[in-house]
Amino acid sequence: MSRVPREVIEEVRSRTDIVQVISPYVNLRRTGKNYLGLCPFHTEKTPSFTVNPEKGIFYCFGCQAGGSVFNFLMLRENLSFPEALRLLAERAGITIPEKPRTPEEERRAQERERVHEALELAATFYHHSLLKTKEGGVARGYLDRRGVGAGSTALFRLGYAPAGWSSLLDVLRRRGFNLDDLEKAGLVVARDARHYDRFRDRLVFPITSPWGRVVGFGARALGDEEPKYLNSPETPVFSKGRLLYGLHLAREEIRSRGQAVLVEGYMDVIACRQAGLGHAVASLGTAFTREQARLLLQLCSDAVLAYDADAAGTTATLRGLGLLREVGCTVRVALLPEGRDPDDCLREMGGKAFEALLAQALPLPDYHFRLACQGADLGTVEGKLAVSRALVPVLAQIEDEVERAAYLEKFSLALGVSANALPDELRRYRRRSVKERDSRAAQGDNAGRAGQVDVARRAADELLRAMAADPALARKVAERAGLDVFEDPAHREIAAGLMRAGEGGELTPAELLESLDDPTARSVVAGAQLQEYSPEVLARVVEDCLGKLRRHRRDQRKHEIVREIGRREASGEGIPKSLLEELQDLLTEG
């Protein structure tokens, strides 16, 4: 659907009761200005899902899902914004007028649609080649040996890419697609002025958007060809770092369970679903990304990592643990038998035993304890010392005092050391950390000014919340400081969305949320909108935070110049007068 005038969207919103729309999904009870209930997007026992009918927004203080009534339907029913708008417009008896696209918008929309059509036809071609051709027999045999049934083959639309150089290319050109279309879709590659199929003699796994539309492919070699797995390249519709394999099939079960199982491979996802574990998804042959972590957080707040039990799997697990924890997920790690992946485990031990293994997954500190103990002789002082030193940084990251105390007691008992030994070591670690930061800061080392960075990060967080609470302040920050005041790319991304929204004039809270594409930005805004701030307090917050951030940037620049002058002096280079003048100006300012 093409663009819809803002006034029409506002009319649909004004004639829609957000409480009535959400009530069929959530048992809401009134508490003051708000309504409260159990969140439909993650499992919880204490209600944290809040609806404010006056502002027309919802927010969950547990999983941080938030937005307008349109955003709710988009999340709950897997709808696009135009689809949610049309659904509510029909309920309100409002006709949606069409507004023509600009020529450039029309061109981009047609290009994306052409790419989608080519990918859909390719998936159909590959699926037919697997099921109906003699050449696909090798791939069918491979699936049989791996225990993949006909139902899974159909559900995941598995396919086979023939060995010929132009099998798919010839078919799609007969259907009217040109070489430019097929290159943009990532289906063909050009070399020496010739084009040929990207995937040849491979088992093919269609990769879909979270809503089930084919956007790319993963392909496994059936012989000795390298690489073993080959993915589609980045295209107008495919970015592997922003997708999870199997998510379109797993969405509802992830929501109902309040948990996702994160595995590494396509076959792992298929094997899990065949065993009744339909909440498994996989990254696409790449390091787990923050965008993938955010995708999961939209659906649940609990994740179990079930990566291969090898060195590469351990490294991937540690990275995934960090990213999931950063976005707010509770993370645990399933301990697979050495040399086995989830597919191996399911075929060898069965679904129930594997599910029991998932249920016994270790929380983050316990997983680190296990890693630290590997190869350590706990019967020796040296072994106990090595493990305790590995654990202390992990324990220092636990913010909850009760949880940290419980782990200190647990690990002290496991190591056979005094109950005071680990707490004492933790205190010494913290003191050393502070001293090291102070020492590095005194030497002008940027990396050592962790305290300053923490102050700047907190100031950026507070500034974003103030901008989210009042769009007029977003415009003020844009005029006075711009995006450069935000050092962290994630902060800058949210600020950019708030500033763009602020350019549109006075927006209602719901309009502001709908203007933001990034779910993290919507979360920040929705949470801020449900807090009560006076205009005077917000104005003071903006002034205070801008001052802190400017001082932080100024201090950074001073240290950069001092280092550059030191480098030039050591190498015998001349020192530009402009550099000295800039340093003098900065020293005069502060």
Q: In sequence order, what DSSP letters do the residues of 419-480 get, joined into one string?
A: TTHHHHHHHHHHHHHHHHHHHHHHTT-GGG-HHHHHHHHHHHHHHHHHHHH-HHHHHHHHHH
401-415 and 421-442 are packed helices; what angle lies between their axes, rounded to 10 degrees? 120
- Dihedral sign computed on CA atoms, order 379, 384, 385, 387: positive
Taking alpha carbons only, the member of 207, 176, 334 closest to residue 282 is 207
Percent share of the chain, pLDDT over 90: 31
Calculated CA dihedral for residues 86, 89, 93, 99, nearest 10 degrees: -70
Placement of tokens 């699936």 in the chain: 143
Predicted model pTM: 0.62
Residue from 10, 11, 18 nearest 54 by CA: 18
Find tokens 């450069």 and name the residue: 484
242-255 residue pLDDT tens? 889 999 899 888 87
Burial (Cβ within 10 Å: 0-12, 13-18, ≥19) of residue 539 = middle
What distance lies between CA 274 and its chain's CA centroid?
26
How would DSSP label each residue in 489-556? Answer: HHHHHHHHHHHHHHHTSS--HHHHHHT---HHHHHHHHHHHTS---HHHHHHHHHHHHHHHHHHHHHH
| Number of alpha carbons in the 13 Å side-chain half-sphere of residue 534 | 3
Report the pLDDT value the prediction gives residue 291, as an integer from 0 to 100: 79
Asked if 218 and 205 touch (Cβ cutoff 8 Å), the reply is yes
Per-residue pLDDT, averaged over 110-129, amounts to 94
**Nearest residue to 159 via CA among 138, 128, 133, 185:** 128
Note the pLDDT tens digit of each residue in 504-559: 555 677 777 777 777 777 777 777 777 666 777 788 888 888 888 888 877 777 77
DSSP-assigned beta bridge partners for residue 121 = none
pLDDT interval class at 444 (50, 70, 90): very low
Identify which of 68-77, 262-271, 277-286 has the greatest average pLDDT: 262-271
Q: Is 482 helix (H, G, I), strand (E, B) or coil?
A: coil
Residue type, 117: E
Q: How many CB atoms lie within 10 A of CB 100?
A: 9
Q: Measured between alpha carbons, how far is 268 from 306 in angstroms, rounded to an integer?
A: 9
pLDDT at position 527 is 77
Nearest by Cα to 306 from 247, 265, 275, 253: 265
| Peptide linkage before 227 cis (omega within 30 of 0) | yes
Of the two residues 149 and 403, the one the predictor is more confident about is 149
The pLDDT tens digits for 179-196 are: 999 999 999 999 888 999
**Which band of pLDDT confidence, cut at 50, 70 and 90, is reported for residue 434?**
low
Mean pLDDT on 467-476: 77
Q: Determine the 3-state secondary structure of 68 from DSSP.
A: strand
- Per-residue pLDDT at 475: 78
The C-alpha atoms of residue 67 and residue 73 are separated, in whole angstroms, by: 10
Tokens of 434: 């502070």
| Buried-state track 146-175, b at ≥16 Cβ within 10 A, e below 16 | eebeeebbeebbbbbbbeeebbbbebbbee
Cβ atoms within 10 Å of 345's Cβ, excluding its own:
24
Quick count: other Cβ atoms within 10 Å of Cβ 285?
Answer: 16
Share of the chain above pLDDT 70, in %: 89
pLDDT tens-digit map of 22-37: 987 888 889 888 999 8
Domains of the chain by start residue, with CATH? 6-92 (3.90.580.10), 103-238 (3.90.980.10), 247-360 (3.40.1360.10), 370-436 (no CATH), 450-589 (1.10.860.10)
For the chain, helix, strand, coil in percent to 5 are 60, 10, 30
Alpha-carbon separation of residue 326 from 272, 331, 489 (angstroms): 27, 10, 14
Q: What is the pLDDT of residue 450?
A: 44
Nearest one of 370, 451, 455, 364 to 404, comparing CA atoms: 364
Averaged confidence pLDDT in the chain: 83
Strand-pair partners of 202: 161, 221
Tens-digit pLDDT profile for residues 195-224: 999 999 999 999 998 768 899 999 999 988
Task: Name the helix (H) or strand (E) containing 254.
Answer: helix 247-257
Q: Is the pLDDT of residue 446 over 50?
A: no
Residue 448 has pLDDT above 50, yes or no: no
